[in-house]
Structure 1
Amino acid sequence: MNLKGIHHVSALTAKAPENFKFYTEVMGLRLIKKTVNQDDTSVYHLFYGDEKGNPGTELTFFEIPMAGRNHDGNNSISAISLRVNNDDALHYWQGRLKDHGIETEGIKDRAGRSTLAFRDPEGQRMILVSDENNRGVVGGQPWSKSTTPKEHAIVGLGPVRLTVPAAEPTIGVLTELLGFRKKGSYSPELAGQPDIVVLETGEGGSGAEIHVEERNDLPQERLGRGGVHHVAFRVDNEEELRDWIEKVQTSRFPNSGFVDRFYFKSLYFREPNRILFELATDGPGFDTDEELEHLGESLALPPFLEPHREDIEAKLKPLQTKQ
């Protein structure tokens, strides 16, 4: 068994319409699925991605209206990366974000790659990372109707950073249970802190990396809008997922067991620093219940929620989708 890379990352938003506007109009991503939180159908669960919503390109948001702001800290997924093709694209994004009133930290080297860090309007910690000279998991295909030029468009998820009070327990789960490999390390931005450890899985590269930052000087993060709920890793198919479930259960990690999310199948568990991991299958995919050309245009519901469509739609505010 071998995890193939990052499948998706799920974060929190307090305002789904504003979130939709920013990630489609400013960031140029495609809304590939407009659905609801299966655990609370009164709010949206929005999926953004590439042309087809390929695994490894999916950035998702749970809507929690009136959620307080995220209090950054420890035991957290402290940064999400989005891949672009090359260093030139970072210069384009530096100007584009400035034009939309978004401040950036400037282009910096992280783990041997050029990067551009910024926060979205709700404070979400984002890093654009250049794939120039990157080898490993191939990126996705930008949406043909994106608001950004194809040559500069976002092509998928990049490294995910975890910030924990003690790195070794998290690194142990990633390497010994999940099969990640230690790739190297790089210096943190704050002097006096341990190096950030880089781990990779599958074919490696920016689409298959986790960066573990040890910070024992921080309080525990209080999750809110602008925070990240969980990171999911790619599993090839359902048969392999069931093997992973057995392995996680044998290792005595409390876990969700098999979960059918309709667009993919999943397992959830928390590692020792309380960060939520998900293992998710590559399929069936987001065109299971919608034609590829019309992904995200209407509210999609899994079959078990379809009988409740009228009640669900009545509780949701429109996103004003114009696709």
Structure 2
Amino acid sequence: MNLKPLKGIHHVSAITANAKKNFHFYTKVLGLRLIKKTVNQDDTSVYHLFYADERGNPGTDLTFFEIPYAGRTYQGTNSISATSLRVKDNQALHYWKQRFEQLKVDHEAITNESGRMTISFRDPEGQRLILVSDEENHGVSGGKPWENSPVPQQHGVIGLGPVHLTVSRPERTIKVLTDIMGFHEKAGYQRDIDQKQVRVFETGEGGTGAEIHIVEDDQMSRERPGRGSVHHVAFRVEDADELNKWIEILNENHLPNSGFVERYYFKSLYFRESNGILFELATDGPGFEGDEDFEHLGQKLALPPYFEGQRTEIEARLEPLDTKG
């Protein structure tokens, strides 16, 4: 089978308990653009918010399911333990450190990890995030920050960076990444915060937009997710034909999976790796401008055509969320 390598990180989906506060932080503080206000297609009573670069280019989407009254996250192993966001260069990190101090965002010092400058921080719900500089990056290209962002374009977030997994049995996750998904291992590094060794795996063109970082921790209990936790990470495939090939690969390797799932803005396939972390494969297109033009992305409640007949009922269940400001 002529199968193309996965192209990198497609999106990361996390959990918030408060869509309004979430919208404020990710647009007004982090300067991302809300490019789609829609609903969780598996539970249309709650929002699904997509933040990204100027138009939601593949590899730039950080998304949130709103689960009102979600409890706190009890951090642990077998989890997506941090999500990275890429910025253009090292100078941008100094801008962000000053911005975090000014806006009282919980953050750490700028540090050098894996040959790149980074700064760790958290959103108000404890979401674990890392800004990573692309100054030394050679690999998957980033996106383009929105010109109307409150953050200057030269310092804006240009996409998703390495996704960090903490697992109790790393050999299980690594086997899926390398033997099935086509990742290969590159040089690792020692983490400053706790001196643990991190193993780095990349796919496609490699670089910050195509890496998974794995740390072993078999001492903690399994993470109990809630607000501020990550639901799943998705990887990029070219199109629906490629996605169908991946379904065959997973079936041949006896990996239970969702099969082909229509998400309207992209096509998807879901499965869990051997430590229980949810992976998704998602197509690069068709994208987010099929139901809204570029200038008005994210301003109205967007529903895929197969939910339009339920719009009245869906809107009645949702707390109004003003995203036009």
Structure 1 length normalisation: TM-score? 0.98
Give 1:224's aligned residue. 226
Q: Distance in 2 between matches of 1:22 and 1:191?
A: 28
Alignment-mate amino acid for residue 113 of structure 2:
R
Give 2:181's aligned residue. 178
Cα 1:192–1:148, aligned 2, differ >3 Å: closer, same or farther?
Answer: closer
Aligned residues: 322
Alignment-mate amino acid for residue 209 of structure 1:
E
Deviation at 1:191, TM superposition (A): 5.0
Q: Does 1:99 align with 2:102?
A: yes
Q: Does 1:15 align with 2:18?
A: yes
Q: Distance in 2 between matches of 1:292 and 1:281?
A: 20
Q: Distance in 2 between matches of 1:179 and 1:213?
A: 19
Choose the corresponding residue for 2:265, options 263, 266, 274.
263
Alignment-mate amino acid for residue 91 of structure 1:
H
Correspondence 1:1-323 to 2 at 5 A: 1-189=4-192, 191=194, 193=196, 195-323=197-325
Q: Distance in 1 between matches of 2:119 and 2:73?
A: 21
Alignment-mate amino acid for residue 47 of structure 1:
F
Deviation at 1:5, TM superposition (A): 0.3
Structure 2 length normalisation: TM-score? 0.97
Unpaired stretches in structure 1, ≥5 consecutive residues? none
Contact 1:10 1:59 in 2 (8 A): yes
Percentage of matched positions with identical amino acids: 62
Q: Judge which range, 313-322 or 14-23, deviates more.
A: 313-322
Q: Distance in 2 between matches of 1:86 and 1:206?
A: 12
Deviation at 1:322, TM superposition (A): 2.5
Q: Judge which range, 272-281 or 287-296, deviates more.
A: 287-296
Paired residue secondary structure (1:77): strand
Q: Distance in 2 between matches of 1:196 and 1:210?
A: 10
Alignment-mate amino acid for residue 58 of structure 2:
P
Paired residue secondary structure (2:243): helix
Tell me the alpha carbon deviations over residues 5-48 of structure 1, each in whole angstroms, 9 at most, x when there is no partner. 00000000000010001000000000000000111111100000
Contact 1:75 1:164 in 2 (8 A): yes
RMSD: 0.9
